[in-house]
Amino acid sequence: MTLILGLEGTAWNLSAALVSEERVIHEAESTYKPLYGGIHPREAAQHHASELKNVVTQALRGAKKEGFSLDDIDAVAFSQGPGMGPCIRTVATAARALSISLKTPLIGVNHCIAHIEIGRWQCGTKDPVVLYVSGANSQVLAYRSGRYRILGETLDIGIGNALDKFARYLGLSHPGGPKIEELASKGTEYVYMPYVVKGMDLSFSGLTTSAKDAINHHKTEDVCYSLQETAFAMLTEVAERAMAHLWKDEMLLAGGVGANRRLQQMLQTMCHDRGAKFFVPENKYLKDNGTMIAYLGLLMFNSGETTPIEKSVVKPNYRPDEVEVTWRDKSK
């Protein structure tokens, strides 16, 4: 059995988890909540620095209660990117220190791929088209010949970011996505919004601007409803085209925005209409979590991949298609 300690802290959530092939042994987390405005990278990093000791200690104590000791840990995995520079540097420093003191290898993992692999593990889907929607990212991906290929993506901001920005404009606290969802559920009238799909790519920033304008003439609930309907229809269109072109019959939702019930419903309908299966992990595995980092670390460790300290420098713009996937074909 392999036991991996995983650390996540690319943005708002600091989390540490211990995972084996069989199960999640323990996860601990501490959330940074901005007093006002959005996530401030330096403040989030300071939050992570001051909470690291607590969170890691909690995770290790949890594992001890389950009968594991420090000696059982085979490697320390951490989010090498993408993410906010100050945040990922802080957590990477802790991961390096832990790997040295535990005398175990270090494994730098790609945060986006961790979102995908935890979903595949939790839902038991083998070869899905993935819709990965979070604060900073919006991508449609699928695995082919040793890599997760990006088939379509946002050309500007992530969908979560678009929702959070509009929510902030309404005076709502961060994160805004769930609050927009709540308001949207009471909307009845569709207000025109720009629908921007270019080939397989998407754009959301104009949508936020348009929602800000619309609020002067329409009910807040209707604007939230229209914003969601438009953005989610765009995502569903691109996700469906990816499935059609690749002849795939499974779809996996990943990332924090995946918690949105209306988005889930639209994707479910699309999959149902084309005879495909739709998979969504529990909310705790959609949002940023240490378990997904530990789990991808485990897959990498078991296929012989570790990261020497001199190659552990963080990558704020780390793209999933930069990663050579060495663990998938082997496990087939």
Please identify, using beta-carbon distances, which residue of 63 and 179 lies nearer to ligand ATP.
179
Please identify, using beta-carbon distances, which residue of 222 and 288 lies nearer to Fe ion.
288
Check residue 81 and give left, alpha or beta (phi > 0: left; psi -120 to 50: alpha). left
Residue 156 · residue 150 · CB < 8 Å: no
Tokens of 48: 């992570």
Q: Mask of contacts with ligand ATP, 9-38, x by CB under 6 A?
A: -xxx--------------------------
Residue 63 interacts with which of ligand ATP, Fe ion, none, CB < 5 to 8 Å by class: none
DSSP3 helix / strand / coil % (the chain, rounded to 5): 50, 20, 35
Residue 163 interacts with which of Fe ion, ligand ATP, none, CB < 5 to 8 Å by class: ligand ATP
What span, in angstroms and rounded, lies between the C-alpha atoms of 92 and 76?
10
Interface pick for ligand ATP out of 128, 135, 297, 320 (rule CB under 6 A)? 135
287 binds ligand ATP (CB under 6 A): yes
Piece of the chain touching ligand ATP by CB under 6 A; list 44-52, 55-63, 96-104, 133-141:
133-141
Interface pick for Fe ion out of 201, 250, 288, 305 (rule CB under 5 A)? 288
Q: How many residues does the chain have?
A: 332
Interface pick for Fe ion out of 99, 125, 134, 260 (rule CB under 5 A)? 134
Q: Which of residues 260-279 bind ligand ATP (CB under 6 A)?
A: 260
State residue 280 phi and psi, 5-degree precision.
Answer: -135, 125
Say whether 24 sits in a helix, a strand or coil: strand
Q: How far is the CB of 322 from ligand ATP (least distance, A)?
A: 15
177 binds ligand ATP (CB under 6 A): yes
Residue 259 interacts with which of ligand ATP, Fe ion, none, CB < 5 to 8 Å by class: ligand ATP
Interface pick for ligand ATP out of 175, 281, 290, 297 (rule CB under 6 A)? 175
Q: How far is the CB of 47 from ligand ATP (least distance, A)?
A: 13
Piece of the chain touching ligand ATP by CB under 6 A; list 48-56, 176-184, 232-240, 297-305:
176-184
Residue 17 · residue 27 · CB < 8 Å: yes
Tokens of 317: 């713009």
Residue 199 per-residue DSSP state: T
134 binds ligand ATP (CB under 6 A): yes
Residue 204 · residue 135 · CB < 8 Å: no
Q: How far is the CB of 133 from ligand ATP (least distance, A)?
A: 8
**258-287 per-residue burial string, b: 16 or more CB within 10 A, e: under 16:** bbbeebeebbbebbeeeebebbbbeeebbb
What span, in angstroms and rounded, lies between the C-alpha atoms of 158 and 18?
29
Name the residue with tokens 């991508």: 139
CA-nearest of 39, 50, 46 to 11 is: 39
Please identify, using beta-carbon distances, which residue of 105 and 297 lies nearer to Fe ion.
297
Binding site for ligand ATP (CB under 6 A): 10-12, 83, 111, 134-137, 158, 160, 163-164, 175-178, 181, 255-257, 259-260, 287-288
Note the residues at the interface with Fe ion (CB under 5 A): 134, 288
